Amino acid sequence: MKIAVLTGAGVSAESGLGTFRDKDGLWTRYDLNEVATPEGFARNPALVHDFYNARRANCADATPNAAHMALAELATGPHEVTLITQNIDNLHTRAGSSDVIHMHGRLMRALCAACGARWDAPLVMSPHDHCPSCGATATRPDIVWFGEIPYDMDAISAAVATCDLFVAIGTSAEVYPAAGLVELAGGQTLEINLAPSARANAFDDHRFGPASEVVPAWVAELL
């Protein structure tokens, strides 16, 4: 079976990484226009770097949970699995998943806005950092901000359109184009979430509860 899995912030929440859109989410404590847009970065790059430096430190201290581990195990079984994540952390990779598609970029990578070079980010980034390729002081986190196009959309769309099963795990289904992937799914659709998402009615089936409990149980049934 071809399985396309989309994960969101709910998968990493139990590892201590904050979600975005719940009542205590990150966007209730920060102005996204200041820390998650190209315009905000142009106005105050130091503020944006401070925000992502804190998140990078949090990510480095976090540990993959049972949901991350179960999804890595799923890929070792008989099914063809494409793992797509909205998350910018590296917990899927640290759990053993390979070829993870990070549609919103990667927190632990840096990007040069001048030449497009990418490299492993230091734990602390600064507006004064020089690009190792071109030398410009135009370094930023390798993150897809609001108003920018998510990465690898052609590969993501193809995987979802041709899958036998599309599973969305721990996502609020409020951010597009990720929220619209269920409409592209060529097979059955399943939502695994703590509670019904904004697009719950678009899915054929649902399982609700903590990701660290529900995902391992679901994976066990498939293996």
CA-to-CA distance for 14 and 67, rounded, in angstroms? 9
Band of residue 27 on the pLDDT scale cut at 50, 70, 90: very low
Q: What's the pLDDT at 29?
A: 63
Q: How far is CA 138 from CA 32, 98, 131, 210, in A?
A: 21, 30, 7, 40
pLDDT in tens, 28-74: 567 888 999 999 999 999 999 998 998 898 899 899 999 999 999 99
- Residues near 144 by beta carbon (within 8 Å), at least 6 away in sequence: 103, 104, 105, 150, 151
Active-site residues: which are they? Answer: 104
What is the C-alpha separation between 58 and 21, in angstroms, rounded? 18
Q: Which of 39, 7, 28, 221 is nearest to 145 (CA)?
A: 39
Contact yes or no for 103/96 (Cβ under 8 A): no
Q: Is beta strand 165-169 parallel, antiparallel or unpaired with respect to 139-143?
A: unpaired
Taking the whole predicted model, whether its pTM rises above 0.85 is answered as yes
CA distance 184 to 89: 26
φ and ψ of 21, to 5 deg: -110, 5
What number is the average pLDDT over the span 85-100? 96
Nearest to 136 by CA among 117, 108, 109: 117
